[in-house]
């Protein structure tokens, strides 16, 4: 016995990374996957409802001069830079936002 717990070879031990990896609420892939700058992802958690988050994102990016497209619960922020020196739109920016509900509680 060790601290009231019997040694049992059938009990699996896991480290903190394995335990966290089992959680559906945490995405640790950014720590382990090579990130392509053109496909950068940012995730965050919020207590606000999805409609409020979309409204805030939309109003802020419109004030910054971007165009917004909404479709099927997703929001796309677009800025195309076209002109005489840049006719094909190189340097364009496309940002997609998706709000997912999570029921993780601490």
Catalogue all structural domains in the chain, each as residue range(s) with its CATH number: 13-83+90-102 (3.30.310.80)
Under the banding of pLDDT at 50, 70 and 90, the label for residue 103 is low
Q: How confident is the model over 44-82, as pLDDT tens digits?
A: 778 888 889 889 988 988 888 888 888 877 888 887 666
Note if the pTM is more than 0.85.
no
What count of other Cβ atoms lies within 10 Å of the Cβ of residue 57? 16
CA 72 to the chain's CA centroid: 17
- Place 96 in a pLDDT band, splitting at 50, 70 and 90: confident
Strands of the 74-79 sheet, one edge to the other: 67-71, 74-79, 93-98
Give me 59's structure tokens: 């109003």
- The 8-class DSSP code of residue 29 comes to H
Q: What is the mean pLDDT of residues 80-96?
A: 60
d(CA 45, CA 3): 38
Task: Give helix then strand counts, H and E, for the chain.
Answer: 3, 3
Q: What is the pLDDT of residues 7-33, one digit of tens each?
A: 555 556 777 777 766 665 666 666 666
Q: Which residue has the tokens 């940002």?
A: 95
pLDDT number for residue 86: 47
Q: How many CB atoms are located within 10 Å of the residue 54 CB?
A: 18
Backbone angles phi, psi at 18, to 5 degrees: -65, -40
């Amino acid at each position: 016995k060790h601290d009231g717990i019997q040694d049992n070879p059938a009990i699996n031990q896991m480290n903190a990374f394995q335990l966290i990896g089992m959680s559906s609420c945490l995405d640790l892939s950014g720590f382990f996957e090579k990130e392509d700058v053109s496909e950068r992802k940012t995730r965050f958690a919020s207590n606000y409802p999805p409609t409020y988050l979309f409204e805030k994102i939309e109003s802020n990016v419109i004030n910054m001069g971007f165009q917004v497209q909404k479709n099927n619960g997703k929001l796309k922020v677009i800025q195309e830079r076209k002109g005489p020196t840049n006719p094909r739109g190189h340097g364009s920016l496309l940002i997609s936002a998706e709000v997912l509900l999570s029921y993780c509680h601490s």
